[in-house]
Structure 1
Amino acid sequence: MDKIIVGIAEGKIAKGDQVLVSYALGSCVGVCLYDWQEHIAGMAHVILPCTEYAADKTNLYKFADQGVRELIREMERHGARKGRMTAKIAGGARMFETSGNTMDIGRRNVEAVRCSLEQEGIKLTAQDTGRNYGRTISFHAGDGTLKISTVRHADIML
């Protein structure tokens, strides 16, 4: 099993027996796209909902709105077809209690990812989002399985 680490504001592709792994998703969202016919997996680790408030807009994978589109394009360059892609997402936690929802960046990230997937016509088949704890995710290119690990909870397989 070949492990490929997807860091903050990165997007990467895997094939065959490769596994994409992203550690410590708090308010960030791990976007996992899969072409079931070609067994091509893609993962983006997005940290903000959109480019609107960012000073540096050069890294598209930083943003939910642009990161989803960039991941689709990268997967297509590797032989995937958008029409066969499905999505699974994880993360978007509310890591700190604040008064009101204006600062709930995790919720806003999840909403932005869902909106981007819908705009691109990609079906969201599974998710583990929200709550108040971080997650580590492992996305298997061979079968599209997403494993979610946390410190105080049992692993989840999506």
Structure 2
Amino acid sequence: MSEIIRVGMADMKSAHAGKRLRTTGLGSCVGIIIYDEKTSSAVMAHIMLPDSQNTSAPVKRAKFADTAIEDMINYFLGQRIPKHRLRAKIAGGAQMFSFSNSDTFRIGPRNTEAVKQLLSDASIRIVFEDTGGTSGRTIEFNPEDQRLEIRTVHKGVVTA
């Protein structure tokens, strides 16, 4: 059994073959996995908000989609892995607050939209996504075979 590296909220970690990345508690948050098949390396981030633009205090960069994705890409570039080889899988972004149509409470959909746009802008193809709905998720990614396991509350397990 391979070692599991836990990725907390507003956190980002990397792994190679022989290790797996796991994050829990994806409600409105989005779990982003960017990986390179050739080197069996991956980075997972558990983002909480779409962007860091309206934040004045020092922040944990993995909390925001814009800064987390920038750091994830830079990790691979620092390993001399060309950006054109990178692929992504995403999960989460649930609409956890059904009592309001206000944009303020559309955190999950806003997170998902931001992640998809930022990855598109970086020319990183999303090869799988399990986003939306109203249920929380736990995800686990294996860099060796690029399999993502998604456990959704009251819905079971999907592997992609």
Task: Name the TM-score, length of structure 1 as normaliser.
Answer: 0.94
* Structure 1 runs, 4 residues or longer, greater than 6 Å off: none
| SS at 1:99 equivalent | coil
Is residue 121 from structure 1 mapped to residue 123 from structure 2 by the alignment?
Answer: yes
Q: Tell me by how many angstroms 1:13 deviates.
A: 0.6
Structure 2 counterpart of 1:62: 63
Aligned partner letter, 2:54: Y
Q: Tell me by how many angstroms 1:75 deviates.
A: 2.8
**Alignment deviations for residues 1-50 of structure 1 (CA, whole Å, 9 cap, x no partner):** 01000011111110012100001100000000110111111101100001
Aligned partner letter, 1:114: K
Aligned partner letter, 1:8: M
Structure 1 unpaired stretches of 5+: none
Structure 2 unpaired stretches of 5+: none
Is residue 99 from structure 1 mapped to residue 133 from structure 2 by the alignment?
Answer: no
Aligned partner letter, 1:152: H
CA contact (8 A) 1:40 1:80 kept: no
Distance of 1:32 and 1:41 partners within structure 2? 7
Distance of 1:81 and 1:10 partners within structure 2? 24
Structure 1 counterpart of 2:24: 23
Aligned partner letter, 2:36: D
Identify if the C-alpha distance between structure 1 residues 28 and 52 changes in structure 2 by more than 3 Å, giving closer, same or farther.
Answer: same
**Alignment deviations for residues 67-99 of structure 1 (CA, whole Å, 9 cap, x no partner):** 111111123334533110100000000112132
CA RMSD of aligned residues (A): 1.3
Structure 1 counterpart of 2:49: 48
Distance of 1:10 and 1:42 partners within structure 2? 11
Structure 1 counterpart of 2:10: 9
Task: Name the TM-score, length of structure 2 as normaliser.
Answer: 0.93
Distance of 1:128 and 1:119 partners within structure 2? 20
Structure 1 counterpart of 2:141: 139
Q: How many residues align?
A: 158
Aligned partner letter, 2:18: D
Distance of 1:152 and 1:120 partners within structure 2? 34
Give the % identical residues.
38
Is residue 151 from structure 1 mapped to residue 156 from structure 2 by the alignment?
Answer: no
Structure 2 counterpart of 1:110: 112
